[in-house]
Structure 1
C-alpha cells in the first residue's frame, strides 16, 4: 500500500483557495485538515503495523514524509504547520514514550485525534506538581498552533527542581484557550493562541520520556527538517506563481525577468537539496554523531530560510505592486512564508554549526 500523493497534489487548488478565504479572519483550515486526514496524512508517520505508511522509519520513510509535508505546504502553509506539529508530537512519543503510549497515540489518531507540540512559555510558565499518581499543572503556553483544535497537546513543564518534562495532555473537555493572537500578519490560519493549563490534572502515565528528553540531541535539532519541508512547498508555489503571472502579463521574455526566474529556480532547488540532505541525515542518526546531525540540520534550516527570503524578494521585484494586492494569492503567500521562515536564534545557530564543522567535514549521503 502506497500513500496517495497524486490525490494530495490534486487538492492543491482547493487547499490554496481555503487558505485565501480564511486569511482575513484567521479561520482554521478545517476542510483542508479533513481532506489530509481522509487521505491518511495524519496517520502516515505510524508504522504499517499500527495502520500507517511508515513515514517515521528510515530513509525511505523520511523521503515519503518530506513529500507529504511539501505538498501540504504547497497548498496551505498554515495547514502544513498543523500537520507538521502533529507529526512532531508523534515522533517524540515514538522516540521517548513507552510502546504502550505509542500504541495508545496511534489508536487516538485513528479515532480522529489531532496532536500538537506546545513549548513556548507564557507570562506564567507551565509548572507541574506531582502527588502520588496525579500531576497538577499551572501556567500557560503561547504561540500554540491550532489552540482551539488540538485534542492531544504534548507540552513541556518544569518540575519542582527545574527539570523539564514532556506531558501529553488530553484536551477533550472545554478548552481554556484564549482567542487567536491579534496583529499577526502571516500564518493566520494556523490558529496560534494561548492556552492556560492552570488546574489541569493528568495521571503520571501522561509523562513522556525522562527529564531533559525534549532538549536531547540530535532529535531536538534534527526535527527541524520537517518544518523545512513545509516551507519548501510554499517556496515552490511562490516560484510557480512568479512564472505564471509573468507569462500571463507577457513579461516573461524580458531578460531581467528571465534572470529573476532563473535565480528563483536556483534558490528553490538549493532549498530542496538541503532539505533532502537534512531529512536523510536525521533518518540515519545511528550512522552519524549527534553533533554532525544537529549541525547539518541547522545549516539546512538557515539555507532554506535564505532561499525563501531570496524568492520573496524576487517575486516582489518581478511582479511589482501586484505582489502587494490582497486579491493576489502571492500577497498572502508571501506573508505566510515570511512568518513561517522565522525560527529562533538564527545567529547562534549559524555560529554553533560553523564551529562544529570548522575542523571536520559535513556528513555525506549517497542518495539525495
Structure 2
C-alpha cells in the first residue's frame, strides 16, 4: 500500500502543478484584458475580413468572413506541406540510396548534396529561391515558352488548365483502378508467401491505371480539353497571361526550399536504415540468385523501413512546421493571413494565436498518427 501511495503522490503533485500554472496564466490574462477593456470571444470569426489574398485554392474576396479566410489560408498551408512531403520523400530516397552506391561519382555527389543543403539555414534557402532565382526571371512579355505551352516568368509559372466534361465518371474509374491495384497487391503478397512467385506489380499497376481511366474516355463520354495561357496587354507597358493556371513564385520558392532542405535529413534516415541491415542477409540473397534491385526491393527495404519511418516522421513534422516561414516571402499561409493580418485588424491575440497553435498541433498529430499506423502495419510480428 505504501509503495502504491508513493507512486501516486508524485503524479498527483505534477497534475496539480500543471493545473495551477495554467490557471494562474489564465487568470492573469483575464485580469489584464478586463483592465484594458478587451473582450474574449470568437464572434469576430463571423465579421468581414476586408483583405485580399493573392493566391487561393478556393474562391475568396475581402467581403468573406475571418472564418473563411482561416479555411482558405489553412488549405494554402496544407498544399505547401503536402507538396513538400511528396518531393522531399522522393528526393530523400534517391539520395539516400545513392549515398551507398559503389560508383564513386554518384556516392560523392549525393554526399555533397546532403552536406550543402542541410548546412544552410532554411530561411536563407527560401530567400535564395525567391529573391535570387525566381526574381531574376523575365517579365511576361519577354518569357520564352517551356515545352511550347508553359511560361516561367517573374509573376509565376503559367501552365495549361484542364477542362473536364463528365469528370465524375473519370473519378469513378480512377477509384476503381486504385481499389483493383490494392487487391492485386494483397493477392501478390499472399502468392509470394505461399508459392514464392513474384508478380510484376509495377507493370500491372501501370496497365490498370491507364486502361480503366482510359475506358472512361472511350465509352463514358469523358472529354478533356486544355486552356492554354495567352499573353494579354493590360496597359501600355503592362502584360499578363490569361487562361491556364498560375503557380505563384512564393509557392514555388517555398516548396523548393522545404523539399531540398528536408530531403537531406530523409536521405540520412534512408542511408541509416539500409546500413542497419546486416551484410549477411544481402550475401544470402545474392547467393540464391537475386539481382541487386531485387535484393534492395525484397530484402533490404522491407526491413529498413522499420528503422527509417520513425525519424522520417519527425522530418515530416518539421517540414509542416517550417512551412510557417512562408510569411517571410508573403505567401498567404495560416501564419501570415490569420496570425498576422487578421490578428492586427481584430486585436484578438489570444484567440487567434490559440487557434493557430491548435491547428498546427492537429496537423502534426494527424501526420504522426498516420505514420505510426503505417509503421505498426509493416512491423515484423513474432509468432
Provide TM-score, normalisation by structure 2: 0.27
Provide TM-score, normalisation by structure 1: 0.28
Q: Which of these two proteins has the greater Rg computed from alpha carbons?
A: 2
Instruction: Select the structure that is richer in helix.
Output: 2
